[in-house]
Amino acid sequence: NAGVTQTPKFQVLKTGQSMTLQCAQDMNHEYMSWYRQDPGMGLRLIHYSVGAGITDQGEVPNGYNVSRSTTEDFPLRLLSAAPSQTSVYFCASSYSTRAGYEQYFGPGTRLTVT
Amino acid sequence: AQTVTQSQPEMSVQEAETVTLSCTYDTSENNYYLFWYKQPPSRQMILVIRQEAYKQQNATENRFSVNFQKAAKSFSLKISDSQLGDTAMYFCAFIDNYGQNFVFGPGTRLSVLP
């Protein structure tokens, strides 16, 4: 049981380049989310998904695309990278039951855009 | 929109002493969950403790306990017998009962001094 995995761990892009951050979970969770973490601002929600085929925007969605074709995978795409997207990105999966709510985070991807 | 505030950007405590981290939040919901996450230098987000809003009893996990004041919308974290390994960023977080709106505070950097 690997939990939530993210690749790559580090990435450097030039302005205008595109790339995809990969996220996978093996816990069969319905909910998955992408956050970015900037100094002094905590984590901010970029996009989230409540199940395969369903995605929605979070607080800071501009410049990012997502899709959810399977329960396990939730990739985050940067179409044209900008220096403002330099950040640490976290993927998370979560579930909600009568007993409570649990969210599990991946190890994060540090992205630098030059 | 829900907001989470952590008014202490940095704190320090002597090893073996007790420290309390503050968190306030704003919501119009009646049912929700509150969390404290720890982020050590490794960057991994680690769940410390969770509180369901419908429970009046304060949650406790070993050396970690919370003071949940629903009417005041306050959710502080008390760390007893502080250890060097407690040095980390601590984030307070909120999610509503639908599991779709996860909001983090800006974090408190805690240093445990030998």
Q: What is the pLDDT of residues A58-92, one digit of tens each?
A: 989 999 999 999 999 999 999 999 999 999 999 99
B43 touches chain A (CB under 8 A): yes
pLDDT of A99: 58
Which one has a higher pLDDT value, A102 or A19?
A19
Please indicate whether, in this complex, the C-beta atoms of B104 and A44 are within 8 angstroms of each other. Answer: yes
Q: Is the pLDDT reported for residue B16 higher than 90?
A: yes
When pLDDT is averaged across residues A95-113 and rounded to a whole number, the result is 84
The whole-angstrom distance between B6's CA and the closest CA on chain A is 10
Q: Is the peptide bond before B106 cis (omega within 30 degrees of 0)?
A: no
- By Cβ distance, the residue of B43, B102, B106 closest to A108 is B43
Is B106 in Cβ contact with A41 (below 8 Å)? yes
Which residue on chain B is closest to A96 by alpha carbon? Answer: B99
* Closest of B104, B91, B34, B88 to residue A43, by C-alpha: B104
pLDDT of residue A55: 95
Contact A45 B103 (CB under 8 A): yes
pLDDT band for position A1 (50/70/90)?
A: low
Q: Which of A78, A106, A104 is nearest to A91 (CA)?
A: A106
- pLDDT value, residue B99: 65
Distances (CA, A) of B47 to A11, A51, A55, B44: 26, 23, 25, 10
Which residues of chain B does A23 touch, with a Cβ-Cβ cutoff of 8 Å?
A: none
Predicted local confidence at residue A83, as pLDDT: 97
Phi, psi (deg, nearest 5) at residue A12: -120, 130
The DSSP line for A60-113 is: S-TTEEE--SSSSB--EEESS--GGG-EEEEEEEEEEETTEEEEEE---EEEEE
| Interchain pair A42, B52: CB under 8 A | no
Average pLDDT, chain B: 93
In this prediction, residue B90 has a pLDDT band, given cuts at 50, 70 and 90, of very high
Contact predicate B18/B79, CB 8 Å = yes
The residue among A18, A92, A113 whose CA lies nearest residue B93 is: A92
Which two three-digit tokens encode residue B82? 């502080």
Beta carbons of B44 and A105 less than 8 Å apart: yes
Question: How does residue B97 score in pLDDT terms, banded at 50, 70 and 90?
Answer: confident
User: Quick one: how far is CA A39 from the chain centroid?
Assistant: 18
**Distance of residue A105 Cα from the nearest chain B Cα, in angstroms:** 6
pLDDT per position as a tens digit, B41-70: 889 999 999 998 988 899 999 999 999 999
Contact residues, chain A, for B4 at CB < 8 Å: 42
Task: Give me the residue from B99, B100, B104 closest to A42, CB to CB.
Answer: B104
